Amino acid sequence: MTSGLARAPLAAAALVLALSLAGCGDGEPATPTAQDSPTPSVSETAAPTEAPPSSSGIGGGPAATDTATATPTPSDAPAPSETSVPTPSPSQSPSESAPVNGPPRTYVEALASFDEAAGSQEFSRFASPTGNLYCVLDSPYLPPSCELGTGAIPDPASCPADGPSQNVGRIEFTDAGPQPVCNSDTIREPGPPTLGYGGVATWPGTSVTCLMEKYGVTCIDPQTGQGYVLAKGRYQIF
């Protein structure tokens, strides 16, 4: 009985020792052999891919992403139609246009109207049928002239502001040709004969001749190829 009890502690000690030895063997790391080390395959190890450089030029930043910008497509809506604006024709000055059977515009036209006149009469002075026009072909005091009673023509280019009148009321045939006169006087004398419409007045002492028409009076000098038209509200020299 006593010997059995004495062997029990020994058996227990042996068991503890065996367990200790077993634990030390398991705790050491096993040294791998060349056969046991796994060989990495190409498919298992991926080479690092380099990120494309940033478009901003700063390293380490995220690469810029190109964004496609859509080009705007012209609208299919119809464009507004263009309206053709007629170009106004330039207004014609009295020297460029005249009504049919109206005052002549050039010396040639004036000469043609004299050729169509009914006849001529010798008058040293005369008046129109209405009396508004008065003309003198021969006078010791002034050159051949025609004058308006009413309807003088405003003409700042010919009549200075400080002159006797700002309106042309008479035209005189001087050595320099027909000249507008901004008159405040008159050449009229009582009792002139009347030159009817379509009639031509001449006088032996002058080369100037005048044609009376309803639109006014036309006077020309065939020796110089000059002339003029004088009417109520207008005049023209050619």
CA proximity to 120, closest of 206, 192, 211: 211
Domain ranges (residues) in the chain: 107-237
How is residue 77 annotated by DSSP?
Answer: S
Q: d(Cα 113, Cα 209) in Å, to the nearest integer?
A: 12
Mean pLDDT of all residues in 85-105: 49
For residue range 149-158, list pLDDT tens digits in order: 999 999 999 9
- Which helix (H) or strand (E) segment holds residue 235: the answer is strand 234-237
- Kindly report the pTM of this predicted structure: 0.58
Q: What one-character-per-residue DSSP string does 1-52 give?
A: -HHHHHHHHHHHHHHHHHHHHHHHHHHSPPPPPTTTSPPPPTTTSPPPPPPP
Q: Is the dihedral of CA 23, 25, 26, 27 positive or negative?
A: positive
- The model's confidence at residue 11, banded by pLDDT at 50, 70 and 90, is low
Which of 214 and 78 is assigned the larger pLDDT? 214
For residue range 41-85, list pLDDT tens digits in order: 434 444 444 444 444 343 444 444 444 444 444 444 444 444 444
pLDDT at 35 over 50: no
How is residue 185 annotated by DSSP?
Answer: S
Mean pLDDT of all residues in 155-172: 94
- The model's confidence at residue 8, banded by pLDDT at 50, 70 and 90, is low
